[in-house]
């Protein structure tokens, strides 16, 4: 199952809206074939492994797969049918399909056909691999994850004259890794204008550009030249999100001329994030990492508007206190917490409790 997880991660960020899945076939305890789901619409991991085997499995064959095999027709036929047709008699599964309409049904069909099923092997790791998919398939709205890089006392903005980056190179590289996973990233207009970010994934492998949202209620960024998000060769991946009541024809024309999309949302400021999330859902955007500054971060947390937190904490105190801490009036409570050391910094990742 560890090898199956490694295989699944080869498709990091490439399978949305589908999950990442890996599969390994063993005979007499030795791996003889493997596969993974490379992209939505392509062969599923189980089918890829069976094709890689290229022959009928031996009687001792065991299929290990990180996610419960599908049992309904989608863009590809059900994997349960392929498994039964192959003659494999033992299947080891990491996590169940989280879709309430499917959960456990694929395993039930295998068992009814006489296949021995072992489930729950490395379940937590297999489930965590697809936290974006799991949220989307159950709730039918995007997972909104807040990312901050802070000092020990919760400040996000360095003091005057201090280095611009609070965290070290390993933590910054890890942010790029998550940008490669998430279908979209977002910043506020304040962060856009102050930092001029690129918001691309520039870690190992070719540069990847997710959808780049600018949360700009009043379209203050219109007419601002020299910004990467409005001028680089990925600018067609930039979407400026504001209120329909605030957009002027001249601003809309400027964005269009720059090749930048706009979403003018109905309603007012109080319902802005909810309206944006609904629009993301309608566009099939399954998850967004919001790279928040102090104002946006605290507002999102106070409004209970985000589902997950990525907090990179540097072992230092002090920053610019005029901007205040990132966690607003009440620090969030995290569930299912994962802690990772990244050089001198620490990443705390977890689901925000309600």
Q: Could you tell me the pLDDT band of residue 86, with boundaries at 50, 70 and 90?
A: very high
146 and 91 share a domain? no
Residue 54 within any structural domain of the chain: yes
Mark which of 73, 104, 131 sits at the end of a domain: 131
Q: CA 125, CA 64: separation in Å to the nearest integer?
A: 14
**Is the confidence at residue 98, as pLDDT, over 70?**
yes
| Mean pLDDT value of segment 148-171 | 84
- How far apart CA 9 and CA 38 sit, in angstroms, is 10
Looking up residue 75, the CATH number of its domain turns out to be: 3.40.140.10
Q: What is the pTM of this model?
A: 0.93
The predicted structure's pLDDT at residue 213: 98
Residue 214: per-residue pLDDT: 98
Strand residues in the chain grouped as ranges (E): 22-27, 30-36, 62-67, 90-95, 116-119, 143-150, 184-188, 211-215, 238-243, 261-265, 287-291, 308-313, 334-342, 345-352
**If you average pLDDT over residues 329-336, what whole number do you get?**
85
Q: What is the CATH number of the domain that holds 266?
A: 3.40.430.10
The confidence score (pLDDT) of residue 64 equals 98
Is pLDDT above 70 for 153? yes
Rounded alpha-carbon distances, angstroms, from residue 226 to 193, 223, 236: 10, 10, 16
Q: What gap in Å lies between CA 258 and CA 230, rounded to an integer?
A: 7
State how far the alpha carbon of 54 is from the alpha carbons of 32, 36, 49, 121, 335, in Å.
10, 15, 9, 26, 44
Tokens at 182, concatenated: 């998430």
Could you report the per-residue pLDDT of 225-242, keeping only the tens digit for each? Answer: 899 999 999 999 999 999
Q: What is the pLDDT of residue 273?
A: 97
| pLDDT above 90 (res 107) | yes
Same domain, 68 and 181: no
Instruction: Write out pLDDT tens, residues 287-297.
Output: 999 998 888 99
Helix-helix angle 45-53:2-9, to 10 degrees: 110
**46 a catalytic residue:** yes
Q: Is the pLDDT of residue 326 over 90?
A: no
Query: What number is the average pLDDT over the span 72-96?
Result: 92
Share of the chain above pLDDT 90, in %: 82
Question: Are 87 and 127 in the same domain?
Answer: yes
Per the structure, the count of domains in the chain is 2
Q: In this structure, are 267 and 215 located in the same domain?
A: yes
pLDDT value at residue 353: 87
Q: Tell me whether residue 136 is in a domain.
A: no
Residues 103 and 148 in one domain: no
Asked if residue 216 and residue 122 are part of one domain, the reply reads no
Closest CA to 124 of 115, 110, 134: 134
Least confident of 167-171, 246-250, 254-258, 298-302: 298-302
Q: Does residue 222 form part of some domain?
A: yes
- Are 10 and 80 in a shared domain? yes
Sheet with 116-119: list strands edge to edge.
Answer: 30-36, 22-27, 62-67, 90-95, 116-119
* Average pLDDT for 327-349: 91
Mean pLDDT, rounded, of the chain: 94
Q: 275 and 206: one domain?
A: yes
Q: Say yes or no: 115 and 187 in one domain.
A: no
The whole-number pLDDT of residue 42 equals 94
Q: pLDDT tens for residues 269-319?
A: 999 999 999 999 999 999 999 998 888 998 999 899 999 999 999 998 877
Query: Are 51 and 12 in a shared domain?
Result: yes
Of the three residues 78, 100, 131, the one that is the final residue of a domain is: 131
Q: 198 and 322 share a domain?
A: yes
Active-site entry in 27, 34, 46, 258: 46
Q: Is residue 162 part of a domain?
A: yes
pLDDT score for 161: 65
- Tell me, yes or no, whether 303 and 154 share the same domain: yes
Boundary of a domain, candidates 79, 100, 131: 131
| Domain encompassing residue 243 | 141-352
């Amino acid at each position: 199952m560890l090898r199956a997880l490694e295989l699944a991660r080869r498709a990091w960020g490439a399978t949305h809206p589908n999950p990442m899945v890996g599969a390994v076939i063993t005979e007499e305890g030795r791996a003889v074939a493997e596969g993974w789901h490379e992209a939505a619409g392509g062969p599923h991991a189980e089918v890829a492994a069976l094709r890689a085997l290229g022959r009928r499995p031996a009687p001792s064959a065991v299929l290990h797969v990180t996610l419960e095999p599908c049992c309904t027709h989608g863009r590809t036929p059900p994997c349960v049918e392929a498994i039964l047709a192959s003659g494999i008699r033992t299947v080891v599964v990491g996590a169940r399909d989280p879709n309430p309409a499917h959960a456990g049904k694929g395993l039930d069909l295998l068992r009814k056909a006489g296949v021995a099923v072992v489930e729950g092997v490395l379940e937590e790791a297999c489930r965590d691999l697809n936290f974006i998919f799991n949220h989307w398939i159950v709730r039918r709205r995007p997972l909104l994850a807040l990312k901050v890089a802070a000092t020990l006392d919760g400040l996000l903005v360095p003091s005057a004259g201090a280095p611009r980056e609070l965290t070290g190179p390993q933590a910054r590289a890890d942010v790029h890794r998550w940008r490669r996973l998430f279908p979209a990233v977002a910043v506020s207009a304040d962060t856009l204008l102050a930092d001029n970010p690129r918001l691309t994934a520039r870690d190992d492998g070719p540069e990847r550009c997710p959808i780049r949202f600018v949360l700009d209620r009043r379209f203050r960024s219109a007419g601002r030249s020299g910004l990467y998000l409005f001028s680089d060769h990925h600018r067609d991946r930039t979407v400026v999100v504001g209120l329909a009541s605030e957009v002027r024809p001249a601003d809309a024309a400027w964005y269009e001329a720059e090749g930048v999309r706009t979403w003018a949302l109905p309603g007012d400021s109080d319902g802005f994030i909810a309206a944006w999330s609904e629009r993301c859902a309608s566009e099939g955007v399954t998850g967004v990492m919001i790279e928040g500054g102090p104002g946006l971060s605290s507002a999102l947390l106070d409004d209970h508007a985000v589902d997950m937190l990525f907090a990179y904490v540097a072992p230092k105190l002090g920053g610019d206190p005029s901007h205040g801490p990132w966690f607003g009036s009440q620090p969030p409570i995290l569930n299912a917490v994962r802690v990772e050391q990244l050089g001198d910094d620490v990443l705390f990742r977890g689901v925000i409790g309600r």
